[in-house]
C-alpha cells in the first residue's frame, strides 16, 4: 500500500486538500512508496498565517526559555536516530552510516542554537557623549521561510530553522517533494520537545508553494539551498518583494594534489568525498588537480582500482559504500554528461554506466566513474554533474592549479593536499573560495562557524548557521539614550561626535 505523506501545520499533521500529489520513489528499487501532497496557494497561506499568529508570543519568550526547548529537541533527535536514518535512506538512497552522519551534523546546529542567550547578547557603550549611552540588540525578522533540496533532507533544514527559531522567528519550511518524510517527522519531534504550535510549519509542494512564499508580505526572510539557476531567480524575486534572501547554490569543488602529498591519504579522501552519497553533495569533490605529470600518473594508478572496487548496494546492505542516485531522471542526466565527456576527448578510466544489481534492476544505480585528461572547456568540468563522476585535470605547476580554481564560476569549496605549510598558507589566502580545506577534502564548517560559498555559489550577504545565521535571521537595532541630569546643553543643529562635551 502506498503511504500518504502529510503536511505539518500549527503543531499537527494535516492531510493535503489540493488534490495534487507526487510519487515518492525508493531509488534502490524504482518503486513508488509514497505520495507527497502538493500544497495549494490556500494551504501555503494558511501555514504562513499560523506562523504569523504564533510570532508575538514566541518572540517575547525569553531566550533562556527557548533554549530549554532546544535542549529537549536535541535529546529527542539523539534518541530517535535509529528511527530517522532508515526513513531518510529509503527515500534518498544513501547508506545508513551516511544518513546517521547527516542527522548528526543537523544535531550540531541544534546544539549551537541551545546557546542562543549568549548569541543574542548585544553591545553597550557608556558615555559616548556627556550623559549619553548607546547600546544595540538583535531582534527577530518575523516569519521566515526555507526551501531545501533532496540531497540532505534532514541536515539542510536543520541548518536553517533551528537558528531562525532560536532567534525568536517563526518558520515555514518547504522541503524537497522527493523525500519529505524525515523532515516532517523531525518537525513533529520538535513539537514534542515543547515548541508551541505554529512556530514551525512544514508545507510540501512544488513551484506553486515557492511562488507563494516569495510573494507573501508576511514572509520577512527566505533561505534557499539548491541549483544556481533556481537560486538566482529566488534571490532576484525575493529581494524585489522586499525580503531578506540567502541562496546557496551550485558548486564545482577542486582538490589540488601537490607532488609532496601523501597519496594514500589523498586517495582515501577522494573516495569518500567524490563518491560518498553518490556524489550528490554540494561539497563533493568533483575535480582533482594533480600538479605535474608524475603526480597525476601515480594518483591515477592508486585511485582507479579503488573506484572499481566500490561496494555499491541498497541502504539495506550494511556493507554498502555507495547507494543509488535519487531518480531515473538524474541517472539519465549523469549518463549524458559521461557520454559528452567521452565525445569531448576525455579519457574514461573507470566506467560505471553498465552497473546492474541482481534484484534491483529497476533501481537508479550507477558505478563510480573516473575521467582523466579533462580540460577546462569540457562540460564535465564546467557543470555541476551531481553524481559519482570524478574528473582529473592535469596541471604543470602550482600557479596553474590555483588559476584553474579561481577562474571557475563557482566558489563553494576547494582543498589542497600537501605537506608544505608555505603552499597551504598561500592557497588558503589566495583562493577565491568560501570554504577551504588543507588535507581535509570536505571542509564543511562545524555548526558554530558558518557555511557558504563565493561567486555564483551564493546569492546574498550571509552564510548558513553559526553567527552568520544569527545575523541573517535578526535585525540590528541601536539605541542612544540620555536621562535628565539638570544640565542643559541647548538646542543642537548638527550631529555630535562621540567625544563632544
pLDDT band of 496, cuts 50, 70, 90: low
Task: Answer whether 275's CB lies under 8 Å from 388's CB.
Answer: yes
Residue 165 has pLDDT above 70, yes or no: yes
Residue 409 has pLDDT above 70, yes or no: yes
Distance CA 173, CA 301 (A): 46
In the three-class reduction of DSSP (H, G, I as helix; E, B as strand; rest coil), residue 86 is classed as helix
Q: Which three cell numbers stand for residue 187?
A: 518537525
Question: What pLDDT is recorded for position 488?
Answer: 62
Residue 500 has pLDDT above 70, yes or no: no
Predicted confidence (pLDDT) per residue in 61-117, tens digit:
999 999 999 999 999 999 999 999 999 999 999 999 999 999 999 999 999 999 999
Residue 490 has pLDDT above 90, yes or no: no
Rounded to an integer, the average pLDDT of 126-141 is 95
Q: Within a 10 A sphere around the Cβ of 456, how many other Cβ atoms?
A: 18
- What are the distances in angstroms from CA 483 to CA 166, 304, 362, 429? 33, 74, 75, 49
Residue 417 has pLDDT above 70, yes or no: yes
Residues serving a catalytic function are 282
Half-sphere exposure of 166 (CA within 13 A, CB side): 33
Distance CA 417, CA 422 (A): 12
pLDDT band of 498, cuts 50, 70, 90: low
Question: What pLDDT is recorded for position 330?
Answer: 98
Q: Which three cell numbers stand for residue 275?
A: 563518491
Alpha helices in 94-180 (DSSP H): 96-113, 116-119, 155-166
Its pTM stands at 0.95
> Which domains, from first to last, does the chain contain?
3-249+457-478 (3.40.605.10), 253-438 (3.40.309.10)
Task: Answer whether 153's CB lies under 8 Å from 91's CB.
Answer: yes
State percent of the chain over pLDDT 70: 97
Question: What pLDDT is recorded for position 96?
Answer: 97
Residue 388 has pLDDT above 70, yes or no: yes
Question: What pLDDT is recorded for position 1?
Answer: 77
- Report the DSSP beta bridge partners of residue 226: none
pLDDT band of 494, cuts 50, 70, 90: low
Looking at 130-218, which runs of residues are DSSP E strands? 132-140, 143-147, 170-174, 200-202
- What are the distances in angstroms from CA 320 to CA 277, 314, 323, 458? 11, 7, 7, 33
Task: Please state, rounded to an integer, the average pLDDT across all residues of the chain.
Answer: 96
pLDDT band of 200, cuts 50, 70, 90: very high
Distance of CA 144 to the CA centre of its chain: 17
Residue 333 has pLDDT above 60, yes or no: yes
pLDDT band of 485, cuts 50, 70, 90: confident
Predicted confidence (pLDDT) per residue in 458-474, tens digit:
999 999 999 999 999 99
Half-sphere exposure of 250 (CA within 13 A, CB side): 17
Question: What pLDDT is recorded for position 484?
Answer: 79
**Any long-range contacts for 20-27 (C-beta under 8 Å, 24+ apart)?**
22/177, 22/206, 24/91, 24/177, 24/178, 24/179, 24/180, 24/181, 25/91, 25/178, 25/327, 26/90, 26/91, 26/93, 27/91, 27/92, 27/93, 27/323, 27/324, 27/325, 27/326, 27/327, 27/363, 27/364
Amino acid at each position: 500500500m502506498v503511504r500518504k505523506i502529510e503536511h505539518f501545520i500549527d503543531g499537527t499533521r494535516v492531510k493535503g486538500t489540493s488534490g495534487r500529489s507526487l510519487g515518492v520513489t525508493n531509488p534502490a528499487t524504482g518503486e513508488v512508496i509514497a505520495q507527497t501532497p502538493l500544497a495549494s496557494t490556500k494551504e501555503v497561506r494558511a501555514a504562513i498565517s499560523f506562523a504569523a499568529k504564533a510570532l508575538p508570543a514566541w518572540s517575547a519568550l525569553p531566550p533562556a526559555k527557548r533554549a530549554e526547548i532546544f535542549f529537549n529537541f536535541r535529546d529527542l533527535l539523539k534518541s530517535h536516530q535509529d528511527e530517522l536514518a532508515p526513513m531518510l535512506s529509503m527515500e534518498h538512497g544513501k547508506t545508513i552510516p551516511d544518513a546517521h552522519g547527516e542527522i548528526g551534523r543537523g544535531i550540531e546546529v541544534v546544539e549551537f542554537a541551545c546557546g542562543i542567550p549568549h548569541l543574542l547578547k548585544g553591545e553597550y557603550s557608556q558615555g559616548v557623549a556627556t550623559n549619553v549611552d548607546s547600546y544595540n540588540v538583535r531582534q527577530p525578522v518575523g516569519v521566515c521561510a526555507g526551501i531545501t533540496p533532496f540531497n540532505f533532507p534532514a541536515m539542510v533544514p536543520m541548518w536553517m530553522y533551528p537558528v531562525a527559531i532560536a532567534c525568536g522567528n517563526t518558520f515555514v519550511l518547504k522541503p524537497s517533494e522527493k523525500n519529505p518524510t524525515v523532515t516532517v517527522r523531525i518537525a513533529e519531534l520538535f513539537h514534542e520537545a515543547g515548541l508551541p504550535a505554529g512556530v514551525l510549519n512544514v508545507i510540501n509542494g512544488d513551484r506553486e508553494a515557492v511562488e507563494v512564499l516569495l510573494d507573501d508580505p508576511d514572509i520577512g526572510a527566505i533561505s534557499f539551498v539548491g541549483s544556481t539557476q533556481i537560486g538566482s531567480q529566488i534571490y532576484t524575486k525575493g529581494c524585489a518583494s522586499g525580503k531578506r534572501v540567502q541562496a546557496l547554490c551550485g558548486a564545482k569543488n577542486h582538490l589540488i594534489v601537490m607532488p609532496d602529498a601523501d597519496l594514500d591519504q589523498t586517495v582515501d579522501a577522494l573516495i569518500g568525498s567524490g563518491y560518498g552519497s553518490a556524489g550528490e553533495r554540494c561539497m563533493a569533490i568533483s575535480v582533482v588537480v594533480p600538479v605535474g605529470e608524475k603526480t597525476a600518473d601515480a594518483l591515477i594508478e592508486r585511485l582507479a582500482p579503488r573506484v572499481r572496487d566500490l561496494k555499491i548496494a541498497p541502504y539495506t546492505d550494511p556493507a554498502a559504500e555507495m547507494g543509488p542516485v535519487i531518480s531515473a531522471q538524474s541517472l539519465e542526466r549523469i549518463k549524458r554528461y559521461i557520454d559528452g565527456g567521452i565525445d569531448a576527448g576525455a579519457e574514461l578510466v573507470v566506467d560505471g554506466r553498465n552497473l546492474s544489481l541482481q534484484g534491483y534492476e529497476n533501481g537508479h544505480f550507477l558505478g563510480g566513474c573516473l575521467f582523466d585528461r579533462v580540460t577546462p572547456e569540457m562540460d564535465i568540468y564546467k557543470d555541476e554533474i551531481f553524481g559519482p563522476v570524478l574528473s582529473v585535470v592535469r596541471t604543470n605547476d602550482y600557479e596553474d592549479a590555483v588559476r584553474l580554481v579561481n577562474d571557475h564560476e563557482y566558489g563553494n569549496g576547494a582543498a589542497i593536499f600537501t605537506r608544505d605549510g608555505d603552499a597551504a598558507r598561500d592557497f588558503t589566502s589566495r583562493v577565491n573560495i568560501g570554504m577551504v580545506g588543507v588535507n581535509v577534502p570536505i571542509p564543511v564548517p562545524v555548526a558554530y562557524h558558518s557555511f557558504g560559498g563565493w561567486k555564483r555559489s551564493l546569492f546574498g550577504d550571509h552564510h548558513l548557521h553559526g553567527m552568520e545565521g544569527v545575523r541573517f535571521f535578526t535585525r540590528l537595532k541601536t539605541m542612544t539614550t540620555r536621562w535628565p541630569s539638570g544640565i542643559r546643553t541647548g538646542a543642537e543643529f548638527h550631529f555630535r561626535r562621540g567625544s563632544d562635551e
